[in-house]
Amino acid sequence: MTTSSETASFKPKSDFLRVMIERGYVHQLSHAEELDAAALAGPITAYIGFDATADSLHVGSLVQIMLLRRLQQTGHKPIVVMGGGTTKVGDPSGKDSQRQMLTAEQINANIAGLKRAFKPFLSFGAGPSEAITVDNDEWLSKLGYVEFLREYGPHFTINRMLTFDSVKLRLEREQPLTFLEFNYMLMQATDFLELNRRYGCTLQMGGSDQWGNILNGVELIRRVDQQPAFALTTPLITTASGAKMGKTAAGAVWLNAERLSPYDYWQFWRNTEDADVGRFLKLFTDLPLHEIARLEALEGAEINEAKKVLANEATTLLHGAAAAEAAATASKAAFEEGRLSNDLPTIKVARADLEAGVPLSNLATDAGLATSRGEARRLAQGGGLRLNDKAEADGQRLVTLADCNAEGLIKLAAGKKKIVLVKPV
């Protein structure tokens, strides 16, 4: 097995692994030389699974989507696996408690929402390097329990399963791990075997927390069918300050536009920490490495230009060039020119409510500037909450129609980077 510390000395011959390593995607890699030879010889097929626990993915999953994009860009075939079957069980990896059980209707609705996130990044079709989407419920739901145990149970030992982080960490924290969840890793291994048999899929990719689960599938394929199979995981993506990628004080950075506006998505990337700009340009944009090297070498105030490039490129990939340009224009108008734009995030509030008066903390929470009214009050007390460009220390201050500007709007801002308009309706 090759780890991130060893990839620096590994010199791949295939474009696929060269790009993956150069741009910082590889944390762990199994059978590196064999995989490199396979990728060099012709198109390989690889997959990543996405459980349907919500109706949109967030930025924390974007590195996995970009893995599939890089795979396709280097001439290989991606499979997007929707976890219609595994979602019914729930992946215990990285969780202190059992995931909420969803109904079949909820899972199907979530899958419909998840599929939308992949269309801007991948080309789908029947060609040798075109992506396909499959649902693992197609085969997992047809497995009889006794059949499942007899066919796959002998290949897994409880001793080894207890050593995997997804199990070990839960037990160390003295948090319950249900028998239902304990089966998850077997189901994931079964997915890989089924995809290998149906589509000739030889590579499973995922986050570093999936390493043990992925290796189970690799070993199952090699043991049962004596076929080549490989594993590749990405490092945990955190910011320079140690925060987990994809989360902000206001919540998750969703990929679907109805969950997070293109403007807020652009603003998320614009607010990247200085030390992360080069790394994020490699991971989340298609810019060539020489251009990224130039941008990450910028210092002082000039690094803000690199952040704008990152925001424009990342937003263009997901939402299109027009949305990225509109977001950039709105941001410039609001933060550099002091003007308001129709492309700024806007919430609608009943005119009758504003006539009576709405506490500023309530309005700020509804606008997504804070996660709770208590947090909004603390933000105001610290001087971080502004109403029409004026700091308001009293979170209980009533906001009324009298606060509307000439355009009939109310401007709320948190800090220097977050603006939301309030529109009476």
The per-residue pLDDT for 285 is: 97
Give the range among 35-44, 147-156, 390-399 with minimum mean pLDDT: 147-156
Eight-state DSSP code of residue 256 = S
Residue written as token pair 């059980």: 101
The span from the CA of 240 to the CA of 221, in Å, is: 38
pLDDT higher for 45 or 140?
45
Give the range among 93-102, 133-142, 198-207, 343-352 with minimum mean pLDDT: 93-102
The angle formed by the CA atoms of residues 297, 299 and 305, to the nearest 5 degrees, is 85
Q: Is residue 5 scored above 60 in pLDDT? A: no
Residue written as token pair 């989507």: 65
Q: How far is CA 27 from CA 23, 38, 216, 257, 277, in A?
A: 12, 20, 18, 30, 20
State whether the Cα torsion 384-385-388-393 is positive or negative: negative
In which band, very low, low, confident or very high, does the pLDDT at 381 lie, cut at 50, 70 and 90?
A: confident
How high is the mean pLDDT of the chain?
86
Asked if residue 342 lies in contact with residue 261, where contact means CB atoms within 8 angstroms, the answer is: no
User: What number of CA atoms fall less than 13 Å from residue 377's CA on the CB side?
Assistant: 8
Q: DSSP E strands: which ranges in 320-361? A: 346-349, 358-359
pLDDT in tens, 337-380: 556 666 677 888 888 888 888 888 888 888 888 888 888 888 88
Average pLDDT of span 231-253: 80
Alpha helices in 232-343 (DSSP H): 262-270, 277-284, 289-296, 303-319, 321-335
pLDDT higher for 340 or 94?
340
Question: What is the total residue count of the chain?
Answer: 425
Tokens of 45: 């097929």
The per-residue pLDDT for 195 is: 97
Average pLDDT of span 306-333: 92
Instruction: Give the residue among 316, 256, 280, 212 at the shortest CA–CA distance from 117.
Output: 256
pLDDT higher for 246 or 205?
205
pLDDT higher for 77 or 372?
77
The span from the CA of 123 to the CA of 140, in Å, is: 27
Task: Please list the residues that pair with 232 across neighbouring strands.
Answer: 29, 205
pLDDT higher for 267 or 343?
267
Q: Give the count of beta carbons closer than 10 Å to the beta carbon of residue 153.
A: 11
Average pLDDT of span 380-398: 84
The span from the CA of 218 to the CA of 275, in Å, is: 36
> Does pTM surpass 0.85?
no
Instruction: Give the residue among 236, 233, 214, 209 at the shortest CA–CA distance from 93.
Output: 209
pLDDT in tens, 151-166: 877 777 777 777 777 6
Average pLDDT of span 131-154: 86
Q: Is residue 336 scored above 70 in pLDDT? A: no
pLDDT higher for 132 or 356?
132
Q: Is residue 183 scored above 80 in pLDDT? A: no
Q: Is residue 296 scored above 50 in pLDDT? A: yes
The per-residue pLDDT for 250 is: 58
Q: Give the count of beta carbons closer than 10 Å to the beta carbon of residue 225.
A: 12
In which band, very low, low, confident or very high, does the pLDDT at 73 lie, cut at 50, 70 and 90?
A: very high
The per-residue pLDDT for 96 is: 47
Asked if residue 68 lies in contact with residue 121, where contact means CB atoms within 8 angstroms, the answer is: yes
The span from the CA of 407 to the CA of 424, in Å, is: 11
N-terminal to C-terminal alpha carbon distance within the chain = 60
The per-residue pLDDT for 353 is: 87
Range ranked top by mean pLDDT from 128-137, 167-176, 235-244, 390-399: 128-137
Give the range among 52-66, 119-133, 150-164 with minimum mean pLDDT: 150-164
The per-residue pLDDT for 385 is: 85
Asked if residue 30 lies in contact with residue 5, where contact means CB atoms within 8 angstroms, the answer is: no
In which band, very low, low, confident or very high, does the pLDDT at 140 lie, cut at 50, 70 and 90?
A: confident
Average pLDDT of span 142-147: 81
Eight-state DSSP code of residue 11 = -
